Structure 1
């Protein structure tokens, strides 16, 4: 779909394809309001133009883009059969494309106009990407423990990523031993399914709350998680991402 984004590092990114018109509109509006620069590439050319979003017209289903002071470059853009765009919003790479671009004016100045893209890709590094899990109805992980520690116990998650989870252990049941493994852990992901994997404690953080109670957060890494289980995790992250985008777009 985005032929010029062939760099090897794309293999290390987790992508979310967004098809909701309202989500796409909200994201492009935010890019424009933050004056984010956009790389614009003409299919078949190595030349990269830099542009920005001037306006997103919801009623006209159109996006207005700044054009270059170079008239020849502008003409090449207008003659192109396909344009690819790359920008970022809050450290997340955003990719979209346009099949056709028109010459237009915006507030009396020359501009480009494209249709609101039907889809948009958000890319974020897997190893850095973490998304908070719901607070009101928390996702829980069941960890098998010896009888002297109370047997199998469930713990609420603070966040989840393709690499692991953060657990809230407010009763200090698990201890804080870095490198300790817990086998046969089960995570129930709402509307997705149950994930079974081993977990290894990678970091521990104790926080003192305003009521003087201590809250322990354990960062745990998935160990030898089966590919099918990882697919569940990715689907759940995508679900949370879509719900968050919907809130941004004012749908919920």
Structure 2
């Protein structure tokens, strides 16, 4: 499963299934000449394409083909393809099971079936909320044998529907970008516990006022179940309401 396929699964709650809305989205992408990343065999084989026409009568979408004949053959031979683009700063993800060759205005092109669903991710879904400094939310992460085994608890710095930032002031997790940790538990106050895999995506060392170093690790959720994602979204909404209440002087 490539990255976009995984996101299509993880972001199921932001799925658009209305045929009318899907047609409008895809036509908007085409009219604004937005480039689309077509993933043929994962991140290693990417074709940049665009929507030439949305043929609603025939439930088809016409795409520009690659200038590379070999890549065009790989595209035509692929069983599943994933697509990623943006429209008005909203990220759009969809997929197709196969691609057929066709012609559009006399030129070679590709034809795919009109997607039955697309994922639409507004910036709000990626919006990060700082978590409480006092009585912090914690992630319990199982450590592999090479890091000593057992589990360790790490305070969160922030949270979004895409992942968390944790503070590793004892430098227990190392700094390996891309390292994955399975079966991590995050205790969300008044919401419950979510279980997910985490992958370290970025790292920064912070020097505190006492000259001690604290390491901040940005982690992405992997293989998160829909119910757990809903819990994260509810917790973010809770934090946002509490912040707004404080700003309004009601907290």
Residues 214 and 138 of structure 1, relative CA distance in 2, 3 Å threshold: same
Tell me which stretches of 4 or more aligned residues in structure 1 moved more than 3 Å.
6-9
Per the alignment, in what secondary structure is the counterpart of residue 161 of structure 2?
A: coil
Query: Could you say what secondary structure the match of 1:173 adopts?
Result: coil
1:95 aligned partner: none
| Contact kept in structure 2, 1:203 and 1:220, CA below 8 Å | yes
Residue 240 of structure 1 and its aligned partner are, at CA, apart by: 0.2
- Paired residue total: 134
Aligned match of 1:162: 161
Q: Deviations over 1:68-125 (max 9, x none)?
A: xxxxxxxxxxxxxxxxxxxxxxxxxxxxxxxxxxxxxxxxxxxxxxxxxxxxxxx961
Alignment correspondent of 1:29 = none
Cα distance in 2 for partners of 1:211, 1:150 equals 30
Mapped partners of 1:8, 1:221: distance in 2: 27
Look up the SS of the partner of 1:241 in the other structure. helix
**Change over 3 Å in CA distance of 1:127–1:242 after alignment to 2:** closer
Distance change (3 Å), C-alpha of 1:241 and 1:164: same
Task: Please name the residue that 2:191 is paired with.
Answer: 192
Give 1:130's match in structure 2, choosing from 118, 128, 131.
Answer: 128
In 1, the alpha carbon distance for the partners of 2:216 and 2:25 equals: 34
Q: Secondary structure at the match of 1:198?
A: strand
C-alpha contact (below 8 Å) 1:126/1:162 kept by paired residues:
no
TM-score by length of 1: 0.50
Q: Does residue 144 of structure 1 match 2:142?
A: yes
After superposition, give the CA deviation of every residue in 1:228-252 in whole Å (9 maximum; x if it has no partner): 0000000000000000010111101
Q: What is the CA–CA distance in structure 1 between the aligned matches of 2:201 and 2:233, rounded to whole Å?
A: 21
The corresponding residue for 1:239 is 238
Q: 2:140·2:185 contact (CA, 8 Å) conserved in 1?
A: yes
Structure (1 or 2) with the greater helix fraction? 2
> What secondary structure, in the 3-state scheme, does the structure 1 residue paired with 2:219 have?
strand
**C-alpha distance in 1, partners of 2:187/2:122?**
24
Gaps of 5+ in 1: 1-5, 10-122
- Pick the structure with greater CA Rg: 1
State the match for 1:250 in structure 2.
Answer: 249
Match of 1:21 in 2: none
Give the drift of 1:209: 1.1
SS of the aligned residue for 1:231 comes to helix
Matched residue SS, 1:211 = coil
SS of 1:154's equivalent in the other structure is strand
Contact 2:184 2:197 in 1 (8 A): yes
Does the 8 A contact of 1:162 with 1:234 survive in 2? Answer: yes
1:149 positional shift: 2.0
